[in-house]
Chains A and B, each alone.
Chain A
Amino acid sequence: MTAPLDAPESAQKAEPEAITEGVRNTANRSLRQIAWQRFKRDKVAMAGGVVVILLILTAILAPVLTKLFGYPPNEFHQNLIDPLTGGVLNDPNDPMSGLDKTGGISGDHLLGLEPVNGRDLFSRIVYGAQISLLVAFCATLLCVFIGTVLGIVAGYFGGWVDTVISRAMDIFLAFPLLLFAIALAGVIPDGAFGLTGNGLRVGVLIFIIGFFNWPYIGRIVRGQTLSLKEREFVEAARSLGASNTHILFRELLPNLVTPILVYSTLLIPTNIIFEASLSFLGVGINPPTPSWGGMLSNSLQYYTTSPHFVIIPGLAIFITVLAFNLLGDGLRDAFDPRSSD
Chain B
Amino acid sequence: MTPTGHSAEPTTEPVVRVRDLKITFPTMDGDVHAVDGLSFEVAPGGALGIVGESGSGKSATSLALMGLHRGTKARITGEISVAGTDIVSASDARIRELRGNDIAMVFQDPMSSLHPQYTIGNQLIEAYRTHRPSASTAEARARAVEALERVGIPDPAKRINSYPHEFSGGMRQRVLIAMGLVCEPKVLLADEPTTALDVTVQAQILDLLEDLRQDLGMALILVSHDLAVVAGSVDEVLVMKKGKAVERGDVRTVLSEPEHPYTQALLAAVPRVEVSRAQRRAEIRADRAAREGGSAAAPQPTGASVRPEKQESTTPGEPLLKVENVRQRFKVRGGMFGKASDFYAVDDVSFELYRGETLGIVGESGSGKSTLSRMIMRLLQPTEGRILFEGRDITKLPERQLRPLRRDIQMIFQNPYSSLNPRLTIGDSIGTALKVQGEKDGKLIKKKVQELLERVGLEPSHYNRFPHAFSGGQRQRIAIARALILQPKLVICDEPVSALDVSTQDQVLRLLSELQDDFNLTLIFVAHDLAVVRQVSDRVAVMRKGRVVEMSDGDSVYEDPQHEYTRQLLAAAPVLDPDEAKAHRAERARLRAEAKKAAASEGTAA
B457 and A5 contact, CB distance less than 8 A = yes
Tell me which residues across on chain B come within 8 A of A251, comparing CB atoms.
421, 424
A255 and B422 contact, CB distance less than 8 A = yes
Tell me which residues across on chain A come within 8 A of B506, comparing CB atoms.
8
Tell me which residues across on chain B come within 8 A of A11, comparing CB atoms.
261-262, 264-265, 268
Give me 29 A-to-B residue pairs in the complex whose CB atoms sit less than 8 angstroms apart, sorted by A's number: A2-B459, A4-B291, A4-B295, A8-B506, A9-B268, A10-B264, A11-B262, A13-B261, A15-B261, A18-B261, A19-B53, A19-B265, A21-B471, A23-B465, A26-B469, A29-B469, A31-B466, A37-B28, A232-B415, A233-B419, A233-B420, A233-B429, A236-B413, A237-B421, A239-B409, A240-B437, A240-B482, A241-B407, A255-B422
Tell me which residues across on chain A come within 8 A of B468, comparing CB atoms.
31
CA of A104 to CA of B225 in the docked complex: distance in angstroms?
76
CA of A22 to CA of B472 in the docked complex: distance in angstroms?
11
Tell me which residues across on chain B come within 8 A of A336, comparing CB atoms.
none
Other than A1-B457, A7-B265, A31-B422, give 7 A-B pairs with Cβ distance below 8 A. A14-B264, A18-B265, A19-B266, A19-B507, A29-B469, A31-B466, A250-B432
Knowing A1-B459, A19-B266, A240-B432, the reply to whether A232 touches B413 (Cβ < 8 A) is: yes
Classify chain B's interface size.
35 or more
Residues facing B in A239-267 (CB within 8 A) are 239-243, 246, 250-251, 254-255, 257
Residue in contact with B458 in the complex, picked from A2, A4, A250, CB distance below 8 Å: A2
> A residues within 8 Å of B by Cβ?
1-2, 4-11, 13-15, 18-31, 34, 37-38, 231-233, 235-243, 246, 250-251, 254-255, 257, 341
CA of A14 to CA of B188 in the docked complex: distance in angstroms?
36
Nearest chain B residue, comparing its CB with the CB of A252: B421
Residues facing A in B408-427 (CB within 8 A) are 409-411, 413-415, 418-424
A-B CB pair tally, cutoff 8 Å: 146
Residue in contact with B457 in the complex, picked from A2, A240, A243, A257, CB distance below 8 Å: A2
Tell me which residues across on chain A come within 8 A of B273, comparing CB atoms.
none
Tell me which residues across on chain A come within 8 A of B296, comparing CB atoms.
none
A27 and B469 contact, CB distance less than 8 A = yes
Knowing A26-B469, A232-B414, A236-B411, the reply to whether A254 touches B421 (Cβ < 8 A) is: yes
Decide if B379 is an interface residue (CB 8 Å cutoff): yes
Decide if B287 is an interface residue (CB 8 Å cutoff): yes
> B residues within 8 Å of A by Cβ?
27-29, 53, 241, 261-262, 264-266, 268-269, 287, 291, 295, 377, 379, 402-404, 406-407, 409-411, 413-415, 418-424, 429, 432-433, 436-437, 454, 457-459, 462, 465-466, 468-474, 479, 482, 486, 503-504, 506-507, 510-511
Nearest chain A residue, comparing its CB with the CB of B294: A4
CB of A236, distance to nearest CB on chain B (Å): 5
A241 and B418 contact, CB distance less than 8 A = no
Tell me which residues across on chain B come within 8 A of A242, comparing CB atoms.
432, 436
CA of A336 to CA of B332 in the docked complex: distance in angstroms?
35
CA of A28 to CA of B413 in the docked complex: distance in angstroms?
25
CB of A154, distance to nearest CB on chain B (Å): 20
Knowing A8-B268, A37-B28, A240-B433, the reply to whether A23 touches B462 (Cβ < 8 A) is: yes
Tell me which residues across on chain B come within 8 A of A1, comparing CB atoms.
454, 457, 459
Tell me which residues across on chain A come within 8 A of B458, comparing CB atoms.
2
CA of A19 to CA of B377 in the docked complex: distance in angstroms?
34
CB of A308, distance to nearest CB on chain B (Å): 46
CB of A241, distance to nearest CB on chain B (Å): 4
Residue in contact with B418 in the complex, picked from A9, A232, A240, A341, CB distance below 8 Å: A232
Tell me which residues across on chain B come within 8 A of A29, comparing CB atoms.
469
CA of A15 to CA of B504 in the docked complex: distance in angstroms?
16
CA of A27 to CA of B414 in the docked complex: distance in angstroms?
23
Tell me which residues across on chain B come within 8 A of A231, comparing CB atoms.
418-419
Residue in contact with A255 in the complex, picked from B411, B421, B486, CB distance below 8 Å: B421
CB of B379, distance to nearest CB on chain A (Å): 6
Knowing A25-B29, A241-B437, the reply to whether A236 touches B419 (Cβ < 8 A) is: yes
B504 and A21 contact, CB distance less than 8 A = yes
CA of A26 to CA of B468 in the docked complex: distance in angstroms?
9
Residue in contact with B262 in the complex, picked from A18, A22, A241, CB distance below 8 Å: A18
CA of A235 to CA of B409 in the docked complex: distance in angstroms?
14
Residue in contact with A6 in the complex, picked from B295, B377, B457, B470, CB distance below 8 Å: B457
CB of A324, distance to nearest CB on chain B (Å): 25
B406 and A24 contact, CB distance less than 8 A = no
A236 and B291 contact, CB distance less than 8 A = no
Knowing A8-B265, A37-B28, A241-B402, the reply to whether A19 touches B459 (Cβ < 8 A) is: no
Most B-side CB within 10 Å, residue of A24, A27, A232: A232
Knowing A238-B379, A242-B432, A257-B423, the reply to whether A19 touches B406 (Cβ < 8 A) is: no
CA of A56 to CA of B379 in the docked complex: distance in angstroms?
49
B406 and A239 contact, CB distance less than 8 A = yes
B470 and A23 contact, CB distance less than 8 A = yes
Nearest chain B residue, comparing its CB with the CB of A246: B436
Residue in contact with A240 in the complex, picked from B27, B470, B486, CB distance below 8 Å: B486
Tell me which residues across on chain B come within 8 A of A13, comparing CB atoms.
261
CB of A336, distance to nearest CB on chain B (Å): 14
Nearest chain B residue, comparing its CB with the CB of A234: B421
